[in-house]
Amino acid sequence: ETGVTQTPRHLVMGMTNKKSLKCEQHLGHNAMYWYKQSAKKPLELMFVYSLEERVENNSVPSRFSPECPNSSHLFLHLHTLQPEDSALYLCASSQDTFQETQYFGPGTRLLVL
Amino acid sequence: GENVEQHPSTLSVQEGDSAVIKCTYSDSASNYFPWYKQELGKRPQLIIDIRSNVGEKKDQRIAVTLNKTAKHFSLHITETQPEDSAVYFCAASILTGGGNKLTFGTGTQLKVEL
């Protein structure tokens, strides 16, 4: 599938590192999302972008910094993360924020040492 | 805010049997309820959804029922097959000023045994 792609698929970083996660959607959608998926927990919505404008920030620590340069690309910049930030980070997109169906990317498995 | 509870957390069935996963939600304004299947190492994929004006929806071996009064909805899989083994997530969507917001359940690990 090539609808929503994410890179890298796996990432190991130290607490002092700076890294970025990339998401790209080829569906012509106008809304993009970042979710955090931890074991035994529901998917947690982190950020929502609509037409490159951030419309929701779900009380996410500032060590996570999103960027949406255009409606097809979404980044999540990471710096000074904590071990508890280790998780699967999923990107999703939808036609717009009023269309409920979201299409997910394969995720980036992040391990913070 | 919306709270979605999902049960059971793990479910093991024999091939050919039926599997039922249940979810409850807290906000009566929720109006859309999708179910996602996530196979090991893969992305969540929408398998079926239902809107609040419908009580039941079926797609081949998969069906979803919604009880708005009780605020619960269920996923039913009949004639289970090994390829049905995965984690299933329910979600409830509520319309806010910024659009629809999905709240997910904690997931059910379904294992279909031969």
A19-38 residues labelled b (16+ CB within 10 A) or e (exposed): bebbbbbeeebbbbbbbbbe
CB contact under 8 A, A4 and B105: no
Chain A residue numbers touching B30 (CB-CB < 8 A): none
Chain A residue numbers touching B1 (CB-CB < 8 A): none
**B65 touches A: beta carbon within 8 Å:** no
* pLDDT tens for each residue of B21-36: 999 999 999 999 999 9
Q: Which residue of A has its CA nearest to B49?
A: A101
Place of tokens 């951030």: A54
CB contact under 8 A, B49 and A100: yes
Residue A104: band (very low, low, confident or very high) from pLDDT cuts 50, 70, 90: very high
CA distance to partner chain B, nearest, from residue A79 (Å) = 25
* pLDDT tens for each residue of B52-109: 888 999 999 999 999 999 999 999 999 999 999 999 999 999 888 778 889 999 999 9
Neighbouring C-beta atoms of residue B105, cutoff 10 Å:
25
